C-alpha cells in the first residue's frame, strides 16, 4: 500500500504509520516540523517500510495542502490511501480567556481539515480512487459539557466524511471514519483517565483493518460504539446534570 499521513509524528497516527511500515508499505509522512518528521522517518525505515517520503504540511497553511499531497504521491510513485489524524485539542475552559485560540481550534480542526480532505479527495480520484481515512471523535457524536468547540468541529467532520462516502463511493473513493474514544496519547496526557481508555497501538491495529477492508465507520476501542449508543439516548435534562 502507498499511504500518506498527516499527523503521524505522534499518537495514533504514529502507531498506524509504524504498523504500515512493519508490513513493508510505502509511507509518506507529512507534518509541520522537519526534524520530527525526519526522526519518525528513520523509525519507519528501521521497522521495514518499503519506502519513506517526507514533506512539510501544516494545518495552518491550506495553500500547501495540494502541492504537499502531489509531492508525496510523486515520491511514492502512486497513492492508495490518505490519512488525516492531525488535530488540535483544547477544553472549553482553556478557550474562555482566549478567543483567538478558539478560532484557531475551529479553523484547524474544521475548515482546514476539510480543505485538506478535499485536496486529498481530488488527488485520490485522479489516481482512480483509494481510501480516505479521517480521524474524528466520539466527542462529535453527542454534545456534552466538555466537548465544546472541539466536539463541534468533530461533529462537522463526521458529517462531512459520511456525505463524502455517500457521494464518491461509486467513483472508487472509500471513506473510513475513525471515532476514537479516550485514547492514552500525548493529547490526553493531562486529562484524568476514564473507564474504557484505549492504547494507540491497539487503535491503530483496528484502523488498519478498517482501511484494508473498507469499513465506513470504526469506533476504537470498539466498546465506545456501545458507550455512545447509550449517551446518545440520554435526555437533555440528564446531560445538563452529567459532569462528563
Ligand X SMILES: NC(=O)c1ccc[n+]([C@@H]2O[C@H](COP(=O)([O-])OP(=O)(O)OC[C@H]3O[C@@H](n4cnc5c(N)ncnc54)[C@H](OP(=O)(O)O)[C@@H]3O)[C@@H](O)[C@H]2O)c1
Q: How would you classify the pairing of strands 26-31 and 81-84?
A: unpaired
Residue 69 contact, options ligand X, another protein, none, Cβ 5-8 Å cut-off depending on partner type = none
Q: What is the CA radius of gyration of the chain?
A: 17
Please state the closest distance from residue 209 (CB atom) to another protein, in A.
16
Tell whether residue 32 is a contact of ligand X (CB under 6 A).
yes
Tell whether residue 86 is a contact of ligand X (CB under 6 A).
yes
Is the C-alpha dihedral spanning 205, 5, 70, 60 positive or negative? positive
| CB of 55 or CB of 180, closer to ligand X | 180
Please state the closest distance from residue 168 (CB atom) to another protein, in A.
34
Q: How many residues does the chain have?
A: 244
Cell match 489516481: residue? 127
Find out whether 215 and 176 touch, Cβ atoms under 8 Å: yes
Q: Contact region for ligand X (CB under 6 A) — 64-72, 82-90, 163-171, 233-241?
A: 82-90
C-alpha cell at 175: 471513506
Contacts of 85 (CB under 8 A, 6+ apart): 5, 6, 7, 8, 11, 12, 13, 16, 135, 178
| CB of 46 or CB of 93, closer to another protein | 46
| CB of 54 or CB of 131, closer to another protein | 54
Please state the closest distance from residue 189 (CB atom) to ligand X, in A.
9
What track of x and - describes contact with another protein for positions 8 through 47 (by CB under 8 A)? -xxx--x---------------------x--xx-xx--xx
Tell whether residue 153 is a contact of another protein (CB under 8 A).
no
Tell whether residue 59 is a contact of ligand X (CB under 6 A).
yes
- Counting other chains too, the contacts that 188-194 makes at CB distance below 8 Å and 24 or more residues apart are 194/244
Q: Exposed, middle or buried: residue 123 (CB in 10 Å: 0-12, 13-18, 19+)?
A: buried
Q: How would you classify the pairing of strands 130-135 and 2-6?
A: unpaired
Tell whether residue 136 is a contact of another protein (CB under 8 A).
no
The binding site for ligand X (CB under 6 A) comprises: 6-13, 31-33, 36, 58-60, 85-89, 108, 135, 137, 180, 182-183, 185-188
- For another protein, the binding residues (CB under 8 A) are 9-11, 14, 36, 39-40, 42-43, 46-47, 185-186, 189, 201-202
Amino acid at each position: 500500500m502507498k499511504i500518506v499521513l498527516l499527523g503521524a509524528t505522534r499518537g495514533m497516527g504514529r502507531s498506524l504509520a509504524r504498523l504500515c511500515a512493519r508490513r513493508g508499505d510505502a509511507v509518506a509522512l507529512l507534518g509541520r516540523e522537519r526534524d520530527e518528521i525526519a526522526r519518525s522517518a528513520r523509525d519507519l525505515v528501521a521497522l521495514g517500510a518499503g519506502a519513506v517520503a517526507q514533506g512539510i504540511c501544516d494545518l495552518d497553511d491550506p495553500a500547501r495542502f495540494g502541492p504537499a499531497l502531489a509531492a508525496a504521491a510523486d515520491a511514492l510513485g502512486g497513492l492508495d490511501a490518505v490519512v488525516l489524524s492531525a488535530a488540535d485539542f483544547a477544553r472549553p475552559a482553556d478557550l474562555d480567556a482566549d478567543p483567538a485560540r478558539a478560532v484557531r481550534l475551529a479553523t484547524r480542526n474544521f475548515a482546514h481539515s476539510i480543505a485538506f480532505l478535499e485536496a486529498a479527495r481530488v488527488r485520490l480520484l485522479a489516481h482512480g480512487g483509494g481510501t480516505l481515512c479521517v480521524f474524528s471523535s466520539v466527542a462529535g457524536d453527542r454534545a456534552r459539557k466538555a466537548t465544546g468547540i472541539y466536539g463541534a468541529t468533530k461533529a462537522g467532520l463526521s458529517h462531512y466524511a459520511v456525505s463524502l462516502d455517500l457521494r464518491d463511493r461509486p467513483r472508487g473513493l472509500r471513506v473510513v471514519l475513525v471515532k476514537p474514544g479516550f485514547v492514552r496519547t500525548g493529547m490526553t496526557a493531562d486529562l484524568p483517565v476514564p473507564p474504557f481508555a484505549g492504547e494507540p497501538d491497539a487503535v491503530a491495529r483496528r484502523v488498519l483493518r478498517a482501511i484494508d477492508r473498507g469499513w465506513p465507520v470504526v469506533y476504537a476501542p470498539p466498546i465506545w460504539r456501545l458507550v455512545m449508543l447509550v449517551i446518545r439516548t440520554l435526555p437533555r435534562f440528564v446531560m445538563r446534570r452529567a459532569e462528563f
